[in-house]
Structure 1
Amino acid sequence: MRVTERPFSDLLRHPKDVAIEVDEGDVVLRRRDEPDLRLTRADRETERAAAFAAFGRTLRNLAVHNPRALGDALGDAFPWLEFLPGADRRSFVEEFSRVAAAAADLDTYGPMSQLVREWRATAEIHADPKLARRLRRPTDAAGGRVALPAA
Structure 2
Amino acid sequence: MGATATWSEFLRDPNRVIEAMEENGDVTLVRRSAPPVRLSDAAEAAATEETLGALTQLLALAMDDELLERLVDRLTIAFPWIELLPADQRPEFVADFLNNARGGLSVGRLSGLTATLAAWRDTAAAYADPRIRVDASDLDYLDEPVPVPNPEGDE
Point out the structure with max Rg over C-alpha: 2
**Equivalent position of 1:58 in the other structure:** 58
Q: CA deviation at 1:119?
A: 0.6
Q: CA deviation at 1:139?
A: 7.5
**Equivalent position of 1:137 in the other structure:** 139
TM-score between both structures, scaled by the size of structure 2: 0.80
- Equivalences for residues 15-26 of structure 1 within 5 A: 15-24=14-23, 25-26=25-26
Aligned-residue CA RMSD in angstroms?
A: 2.1
Contact 1:7 1:31 in 2 (8 A): yes
SS of 2:33's partner is coil
**Equivalent position of 1:82 in the other structure:** 83
Does the alignment pair 1:111 with 2:112? yes
Once structures 1 and 2 are overlaid, which stretch shifts more, 3-12 or 58-67? 58-67
Q: CA offsets per residue over residues 25-45 of structure 1, 9 Å max, x none?
A: 201101122121111112111
Does the alignment pair 1:5 with 2:10? no
Does the alignment pair 1:49 with 2:54? no
**Equivalent position of 2:153 in the other structure:** none
SS of 2:63's partner is helix
Larger RCO: 1 or 2 (CA < 8 Å, sep 6+): 1
Q: Which structure 2 residue ranges, 5 or more long, are not aligned?
A: 149-155
Q: Percent identical across equivalent pairs?
A: 28
Q: Which structure 1 residue ranges, 5 or more long, are not aligned?
A: 144-151
Contact 1:60 1:97 in 2 (8 A): yes
Greater fraction helix:
1
